């Protein structure tokens, strides 16, 4: 078994959705003066590689600390959108992408997660390219369409999580966060800023999501692994 780390290192240089504050790290105690090392970290819940809990877009919905642990270890299906994104930075995942995966690999597992490899993770070292805002401040990046989220909820209800290697489940120019709205309030969760999907087989891996159970949290940074 190979373990593939799907997590970007969290640091003050981590690219973030523009409404969030930068990650900050400060030394609190030092070995030389205090006998041990401790840093103080300050970050918004949705920083770096992280979980979007249902409560992120629905009051009273499941918070990150109340996610079913069984939903944090799931068979993994990886959709490959790299070719389409090379020609369209705002490409959307649609139901046909799921159906194409099933034609090649068979039906989705009864309970599973779907992650989308767009190649965007390669931009993580260049915050400007990762956020990809145009001169008007509009972001451009691929994402899930509301239609595919609605399709999965209605036709593939065993899918418990979806995720992107971009900074959002939605396409960059989205103004209404339609994918978030269609997906999270149904009690399912999302993953954003996922790394190394090019190293994961399109079918047959197992996803492991190690997220801190922040009390009443709308999400939080996570260590995400694929077992292949």
Backbone phi and psi for residue 10, each to the nearest 5 degrees, phi listed first: -85, 130
Nearest to 173 by CA among 88, 96, 94: 88
CA distance 171 to 167: 9
Q: How far apart are the first and last CA of the chain?
A: 6
The CATH number of 3-11+44-227 is 3.50.30.50
What pLDDT score does 103 carry? 98
What pLDDT score does 68 carry? 98
Tokens 């159970």, residue? 213
> What average pLDDT does this structure show over 111-136?
98
pLDDT digits (tens, 9 = 90+) for 9-50: 999 999 999 999 999 999 999 999 999 999 999 999 999 999
Alpha helices in 2-94, H assignment, sequence order? 31-34, 82-87
pLDDT digits (tens, 9 = 90+) for 56-71: 999 999 999 999 999 9
Identify whether 180 is a catalytic site residue. no
Considering the candidates 46, 56, 105, 180, report the single residue annotated as catalytic: 56
Nearest to 74 by CA among 213, 207, 222, 217: 207
CA distance 119 to 8: 14
pLDDT digits (tens, 9 = 90+) for 202-216: 999 999 999 999 999
The DSSP letter of residue 24 is E
Tokens 């190979």, residue? 2
What pLDDT score does 168 carry? 98
* % of the chain surpassing 90 pLDDT: 100
Q: Where are the beta strands (DSSP E) in the chain?
A: 3-5, 24-29, 38-42, 50-52, 73-80, 92-93, 112-117, 143-144, 159-164, 189-192, 203-211, 219-227
What pLDDT score does 153 carry? 98
What pLDDT score does 27 carry? 98
The CA R_g of the chain, rounded to the nearest whole Å, is 17
CA distance 24 to 18: 15
Reduced to 3 states (helix: H, G, I; strand: E, B; else coil), residue 162 is strand
Assess contact for 210 and 224: CB atoms under 8 A.
Answer: yes
Question: What's the whole-number average pLDDT of the chain?
Answer: 98
Assess contact for 221 and 47: CB atoms under 8 A.
Answer: yes
């Amino acid at each position: 078994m190979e373990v593939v780390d799907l997590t970007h290192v969290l640091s003050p240089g981590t690219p973030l959705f523009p409404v969030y504050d930068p990650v900050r790290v400060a030394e609190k105690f030092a070995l030389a003066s205090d006998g041990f090392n401790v840093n103080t970290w300050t970050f918004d819940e949705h920083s770096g590689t992280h979980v979007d809990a249902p409560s992120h877009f629905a009051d009273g919905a499941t918070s990150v600390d109340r996610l079913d642990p069984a939903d944090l270890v799931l068979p993994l299906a990886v959709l490959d959108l790299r070719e389409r994104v090379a020609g369209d930075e705002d490409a959307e995942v649609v139901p046909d992408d799921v159906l194409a995966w099933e034609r090649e690999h068979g039906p989705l597992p009864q309970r599973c997660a779907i992650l989308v490899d767009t190649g965007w993770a390669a931009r993580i070292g260049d915050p400007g390219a990762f956020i990809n805002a145009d001169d008007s401040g509009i972001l451009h990046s691929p994402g899930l369409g509301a239609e595919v989220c609605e399709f999965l909820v209605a036709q593939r209800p065993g899918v418990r999580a979806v995720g992107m290697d971009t900074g959002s489940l939605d396409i960059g120019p989205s103004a209404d966060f339609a994918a978030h709205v269609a997906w999270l309030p149904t009690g399912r969760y999302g993953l954003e800023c996922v790394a190394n999907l090019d190293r994961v087989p399109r079918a047959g891996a197992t996803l492991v999501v190690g997220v801190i159970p922040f009390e009443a949290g709308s999400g939080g940074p996570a260590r995400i692994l694929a077992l292949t």
